[in-house]
Amino acid sequence: MSRQGTTSRTAITGARIVLADRVVERQALILEGERIVGLAETVPDDCAVEDLRGGWLLPGFIDTQVNGGGDVLFNDMPCIEGIRAIAQAHRRYGTTGLLPTLISDYAPVVDAAIAAGEDALAAGVPGVLGVHIEGPHLNPVKKGIHDAQRFSTVDAAVIARLAAPTTGRRIVTLAPELAPAGSVRALADAGILVCAGHSLADYDQTRAALAEGLCGFTHLFNAMTQFLSREPGMVGAALEDRASHFGLIVDGLHVHPAAMRVALMARGVEGAMLVTDAMPPVGGRSNRFTLMGQDITVGDGGCRGPDGTLAGSALTMAQAVRNTMDMIGCDIVTASRMASGNPARFLRLDKETGTIAPGLRADLVHLDEARLVTATWIGGQREDSRE
């Protein structure tokens, strides 16, 4: 039963609560407005009560790589309406924070995407934390599904565009071996989170980029140089580095579960972030879409181009969490860290969100006993959903 009241304080009860290091039971989570007050063994008299009747209450999921959702591709709708549709589609699956991600495109589209992100932040679109510009400064040899005809080199104008002031967070994925010396440092000094991806950079080139301020790796293992005995490659540099983060697409298609387990053992769980690399079918009605003139179809859990190339994913963060537990063998606390706490730390938002702790924003997700999403909270505002 739920107890309603006129107070701004709410007690969420009835679920196991997933903290950063453990799960607690038979306690209430107290919220006041958009913030978390803390845990209580008994419900204070001045609280309205929301009884979840079982399941788990976790920090809301944070996805740093979201190309689309709700039948919308960000490249096709680089505007506040497109961002709103994508964020709403992913909220259904527990994502309370995300960065709409632009796949390699021409400069005017990049400009529109950056402006749309600022508009969404200014309008307070729920869940929007900034934008991710993936390309077009990538290596054609590792283009994946990206259109190499839209690729361009990094120059002063590009740096000025990408480093334009933002009220949120901005991620830029580039191939460091193609960026002039000092480019990564210039972007990092401007507060941009620079990631390496779609790259032929070797170990030494990657280490040099890390020294300049590179702080992440976009979809580890995919579209980058691999770990070999005499050539550790970008993967080796990523797993050796203690300060950076890497994204993992845990859909059973992009990376073998054994490779992911080895990565976690080598780097430590604190370096890993779950990402979806999601495309328009997530939360949408169609299992087909067009990407840069290519027909993409969804089948067997993945999105593929005409030649079979993986084109992002049809993964949700909720499914990524379940896969992390079932495929890799992580417990729910570890999976939650990879879905929430670690990306918040990577985004330098861990003092604001990403864990269930006093003073942080009440960004939450409830999973029922089958680990399916039933409700989310963004800044304390609840929205019921059903996967």
Positions annotated as catalytic residues are: 277
CA atoms within 13 A on the CB side of 333: 9
132 is in an annotated binding site: no
366 is in an annotated binding site: no
223 is in an annotated binding site: yes
What lies within 8 Å, CB to CB, of 211 at 6+ separation is none
146 is in an annotated binding site: no
245 is in an annotated binding site: no
Report whether 336 contacts 321 (CB < 8 A).
Answer: yes
**What is the rounded distance in angstroms from the CA atom of residue 387 to the CA atom of residue 383?**
13
Question: According to the 3-state scheme, what is the secondary structure of 247-308?
Answer: EECCCCCCCCHHHHHHHHHHHCHHHEEECCCECCCCCCCCCEEEECCEEEEEECCEEECCCC
157 CB burial (10 A radius; 0-12, 13-18, 19+): exposed
DSSP letter assigned to residue 226: -
222 is in an annotated binding site: yes
**What is the rounded distance in angstroms from the CA atom of residue 110 to the CA atom of residue 192?**
15
**Residue 37 burial (CB count, 10 A):** 18
90 is in an annotated binding site: no
Q: Which two tokens stand for residue 341?
A: 């706490």
Which positions make up the binding site? 134, 145, 198, 219, 222-223, 230, 254, 310-312
Could you tell me which residues are annotated as the binding site for substrate? Answer: 145, 222-223, 230, 254, 310-312
Known binding-site residue numbers for Zn(2+): 134, 198, 219
